[in-house]
Structure formats: structure tokens, C-alpha cells
Amino acid sequence: MSIPSAHIEVPRRVRELAGRAALAPVWHNNIGGLTYRTDDGRFIKYGPLDAEANMRDEAERMRWASRWTPVPEVIEQGEDATHEWLVTVAIAGESAVVARWIAEPATAVRAVGEGLRALHDALPTGECAWSWGVPARIANAEARGIRIPEALHKAPAVDRLVVCHGDACVPNTLLDADGRWRAHVDLAALGTADRWADIAVASMSTTWNYGPGWDEALIEAYGIEPDRERLAYYRDMWNAT
């Protein structure tokens, strides 16, 4: 995933959704998905249909989560035979991997860890209709033709069941101008699971975005001691699926 060139060609559907608004590309993922910001306060996500995590699911989960935690407000979601799109209200804040926060990793990592803890504490497991637990993740992967190693079929006992983000990589936390967490985005896989499923991925992703040495700072900001067994297991599960 990366911040795309301003000269990238705008898909026709995105242009239609934008109407008269000007567009600025802000994100490009590894399956060809694009995110644009409009000058009238919206974000438009557009990309190929994704069997792993689709925008229809994302819209549904954001509408649910918005009752307890800051996430984008959904304006419109749709799809055709090959692509899908999602239009949301822009939230004041920037991804934890814009240039400013890449240059200030200590601030960004702390905010991401604190934000993840706040998300887990806010969302009620008893009212969540979706699972991101190990059986659900294995079933999703196998439906996409991915064979999961037998060793990963038995997960460690659940430490604390929470509503997980499902893609807690650091770009999916927005920070305010003072470097505090502001909101979360990209919630298509949100569901109940052991909190370490999110913590493992969030801490691992610090290396991808800020370089080595920040993973334990994120866990400290979350407010917990590292659990090496669960970290290793859920990182392997992420990489396998």
C-alpha cells in the first residue's frame, strides 16, 4: 500500500461519484484499489471486487461501530460486475503514515497503540454480529483457495475477547494535528476475536512503516506486557491468510 501519484488516471466511476468536486488521490493498495479525497469533504474508495474483505461489509460494520467509536460516516456503497466503491464523509485527521508521522514515529506509534486499546474497550462484543476469530479466518482463506498450515488450526486460548479491527496496520489509524489518535478506517474485517489478533498485526506493521524497533512501544502504549506466544501465532496467521 502506498500514497499514489497525483497524475494517476481517475476511473470513470470515481469521476461520476465525485460530481463537480475536485479529486486528490490519497491511497493505492496492492490489489489496485484507490482512495481519493474530494474538495467537498468526502472520501471515495474504488477497487476490484475483493473476496477477502469487501466494501459492502465495510459499510455495514462502520455503520454499526459508529455508535461507540469514531469511524467515517457512510454516504454510499455500491458495486458492479467487477468493481466496488464506498463514499464516506471525511474525518479531520491524517493517516499515521503520512510524511509528518513517518518522521515522528514515537508520537505516531503511541497514538496507534492507544487508539487500538480505545477501540477494543469501546466496542461491545455482545452486540457484534461478526467474528474474526480463527475458525472464521481459516474458512475465509480456504474459500479463496489458501491452505492454512495444520499448526495454525489450533489457536492459543483467548486472552480477552474484543471486537477487533481486523486490519489494525498502522495506516488505518487517523491522527489529529497534535498526534493523538482520532479515528479508525478500513473496517471490512471487523469482528470478535482475541485482542492479540489485532495487537500482533498492529505492532508488526510498525516495522513496515517506521523501521525496526517500534513494535514493543506500540504494545506498551496499548497498556499490556508482550505475550510472545500469542504475538507469534497471530503474526503467522496474518501472514498465512
Q: How confident is the model at residue 1 (pLDDT cuts 50, 70, 90)?
A: very low
Label residue 165 left, alpha or beta by phi (over 0 means left) and psi (-120 to 50 means alpha).
alpha
CA 99/CA 77 separation, integer angstroms: 30
Predicted confidence (pLDDT) per residue in 38-82, tens digit: 999 999 999 999 888 899 999 999 999 999 999 999 999 999 999
**Residue in the structure block whose three cell numbers are 489458501:** 146
Give residues with Cβ within 8 angstroms of 63, minimum separation 6. 74
Q: Is the pTM of this model over 0.75?
A: yes
List, by residue range, all CATH 3.90.1200.10 domains of the chain: 94-240
**12-89 CATH:** 3.30.200.20
Query: Taking residues 152-157, what's their average pLDDT?
Result: 97
Cell 492454512 -> residue: 148
pLDDT tens by residue, 204-236: 999 999 999 999 999 999 999 999 999 999 999
Where does CATH 3.30.200.20 sit in the chain? Answer: 12-89
d(CA 108, CA 102): 8
Number of residues assigned to the chain: 241
- Read off the amino acid at residue 174: L
Residue 6 has pLDDT above 60, yes or no: no
CA angle 75, 198, 77 (to 5 degrees): 15
CA distance 200 to 238: 9
Q: What is the CATH number of domain 94-240?
A: 3.90.1200.10
Calculate helix-pair angle for 215-222, 105-122, nearest 10 degrees: 40
- Cβ neighbors of 237 (< 8 A, separation 6 or more) are 134, 137, 152, 155, 197
pLDDT at 75: 97
Q: Which three cell numbers stand for residue 57?
A: 461489509
| Alpha-carbon span 196 to 215, nearest angstrom | 13
